[in-house]
Structure 1
Amino acid sequence: MLPITILLAEDHRIIREGLRELLLTESDLHVIGEAENGRQAVSLTRQLCPDVVIMDVSMPLINGIEATRLIMQFTVKPKVLVFSSHCDDVYIAQAMAFGASGYLVKQTDTLFLPEAIRGAHHGTAFFCPSKLTHAALS
């Protein structure tokens, strides 16, 4: 089985490096690129065609919600998991409206990230935590 390819879009280098190290422990997940701003995330997604993009909300040049909207206009659409410190339902609703496959807060247990990536890749939405999304997915 081919590994699930991942683009990390996060403006904080230390968080990108931590995510990469976490995902290195998973044999079926492979980080193929890293973006430090939203514009670069859109460009690298077009260039590398990852299966899944881990997208931070608050990034320079283009925020992650807008970058997700732009990426969802591509012919070949990756799954986008929004990864943010914001757990406001407004951000979650925007991410869903623009086609995100999931929304994880950065306070989420590290065990959830690999499972969320696998789930998104296979078409299962993963939203954590929000009253809005629990109601919408019920």
Structure 2
Amino acid sequence: MTTPTRWNPDTVAPPIGKYSHLTSVPEGKQLVFIAGQVGNDTDGVIAESAEEQTVLALRNIERLLASMGATPADLVRLLTFVSGTESIPGFVAGRDRVFAEWFPEGDYPGHSLAVVAALIKPEIHIELEGWAAVDARP
């Protein structure tokens, strides 16, 4: 197996969202931690809506993974910070758009969501961090 294995044992309730309870890292892989990504494009322009910010943040993660020869299938875990409950619907819509492409079989990585009072700038609605299992580097 070259990508993480994900599963949901029947000893706990099923996930309440798009995530897996457990993920294992394959032998020979190393964990890489992706710093918080916000919803900006490659020129640094921040999108207006929480939905578009979510899509852009996930695309930034996708590009960072590609720079290491990895794909979203190599994600072990995501952590999302959403600024205020009013940003949750936009986050969910953006996540669902990208996840439909990334995980068409529903084999989602672990994922936690925290609602916070604010992020670094008032116009930033979401921030996503990631953990990935990638080929070990010498």
Question: TM-score, normalized by length of structure 1?
Answer: 0.31
Greater RCO between the two (CA within 8 Å, min separation 6)? 2
Q: Which structure: greater helix fraction?
A: 1
